[in-house]
């Protein structure tokens, strides 16, 4: 025999080697999108601003986006009076903060919204928006291995732990003792026939995705500038591949685009003046070329008929454009 590994034999036959089990599951790659909040400042009314936010939320959900980052532009924010509500500014709220609020509201299951979002005039038009219908937006009659819930002040009758409203006709009890009014992800058991009175466990919000590859909504993050978009990245090691999109970017067919294997991918969309203007107005990035800031700078819709593509349209077009390149990258 050569110098390879020694084969074990059993009953005269080569024994099959057991694959080494990994100590932990391989981390699933994440996809984030970043959008300039200044696009909201250009909306002509609160209703139109709300519809715009709804389109971004729908696109993020359709394409299983893990994180939506809304970055502000300090110069624009100072000049903007905020989103107009019946002629008055909404407490001087910037378009970016308004967009964050609507995105968070829409991502929240309907049965939790009243508890987590007190009535406020800035959300008066959200009822016009189509639902995201994400997997964690469950109805009362639907079973799933996980449900989103909110911890209650009321104490369980015959046990320690915490009562949680998970959108069912009966509240569940979790093992953990938690403060009221906290949003939690609850493991509901292995089947719909699990005893509803059994103690449940709280898991991380990423658990359904990591364990069962279930899309479980997007996180929303506010960044005060485009530089803080990168600096305050919540992932260890930051984004390892960053793509900027613009009509001035490089033209490559989607079928020919090669994205390297990544852990955390970021795709960025600029404001009215594009990413070039956002970078120029950021004091930490001033003087830098956009191609120095991003690993790739691409035009995802090179043969446009309209002179302008709105950001909400660019997000849908681009996320479809990146579907196959991302799939190839994650399969490497």
pLDDT of residue 293: 95
pLDDT category of residue 4 using cuts at 50, 70 and 90: very low
pLDDT over threshold 90, residue 287: no
pLDDT category of residue 137 using cuts at 50, 70 and 90: very high
Mean pLDDT, the chain, as a whole number? 87
Which of 21-42 are b and which e, b meaning 16 or more Cβ less than 10 Å from the residue's Cβ? Answer: eeeeeeeebbbbbbbbbbbbbb
CA 300 to CA 204: how far, in whole Å?
A: 35
Predicted confidence (pLDDT) per residue in 264-280, tens digit: 999 999 988 899 999 99
CA 37 to CA 292: how far, in whole Å?
A: 22
Percent helix / strand / coil, the chain, rounded to 5: 30, 20, 50
CA 279 to CA 289: how far, in whole Å?
A: 8
The predicted model gives 204-233 an average pLDDT of 96
Domains with residue ranges and CATH for the chain: 30-135+219-330 (3.40.1280.10), 146-205 (2.40.50.140)
Strand order in the sheet with 201-203: 172-174, 162-165, 146-151, 183-187, 201-203
pLDDT of residue 1: 38
pLDDT of residue 73: 75
**For 117, what's the count of Cα atoms within 13 Å in the CB-facing half-sphere?**
20
CA 47 to CA 307: how far, in whole Å?
A: 25
Predicted confidence (pLDDT) per residue in 176-210, tens digit: 999 999 999 999 988 777 777 789 999 999 999 99
């Amino acid at each position: 025999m050569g110098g390879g590994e020694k084969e074990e034999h059993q009953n005269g036959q080569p024994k099959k080697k057991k694959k080494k089990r990994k100590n932990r599951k391989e981390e699933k790659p994440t996809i984030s999108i970043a959008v300039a909040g200044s696009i909201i400042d250009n909306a002509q009314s609160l209703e139109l601003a709300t519809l715009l936010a709804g389109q971004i939320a729908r696109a993020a959900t359709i394409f299983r986006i893990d994180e939506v980052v809304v970055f502000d532009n300090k110069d624009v924010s100072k000049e903007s009076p905020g989103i107009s509500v019946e002629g008055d500014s909404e407490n001087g709220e910037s378009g970016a903060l308004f967009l964050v609020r609507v995105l968070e509201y829409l991502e929240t299951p309907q049965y939790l919204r009243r508890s987590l979002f007190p009535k406020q005039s800035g959300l008066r038009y959200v009822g016009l928006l189509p639902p995201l219908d994400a997997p964690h937006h469950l109805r009362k009659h639907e079973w799933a291995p996980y449900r989103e819930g909110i911890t209650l002040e009321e104490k369980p009758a015959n046990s320690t732990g915490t009562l949680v409203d998970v959108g069912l006709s009966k509240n569940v009890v979790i093992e953990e003792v938690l403060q009221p009014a906290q949003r939690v992800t609850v493991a509901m058991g292995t089947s719909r026939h699990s005893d509803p009175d059994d103690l449940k466990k709280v898991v991380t919000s990423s658990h359904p995705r990591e364990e069962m590859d279930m899309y479980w909504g997007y996180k929303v993050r506010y960044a005060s500038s485009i530089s803080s978009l990168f600096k305050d990245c919540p992932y260890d090691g930051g984004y390892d591949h960053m793509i900027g999109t613009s009509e001035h970017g490089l033209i490559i067919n989607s079928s020919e685009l090669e994205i390297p294997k990544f852990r955390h991918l970021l795709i960025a969309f600029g404001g009215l003046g594009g990413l070039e203007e956002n970078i120029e107005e950021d004091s930490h990035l001033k003087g830098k070329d956009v191609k120095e800031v991003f690993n790739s700078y691409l035009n995802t819709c090179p043969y446009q008929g309209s002179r302008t593509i709105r950001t909400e349209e660019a997000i849908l077009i681009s996320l479809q454009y990146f579907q196959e390149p991302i799939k190839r990258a994650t399969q490497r």
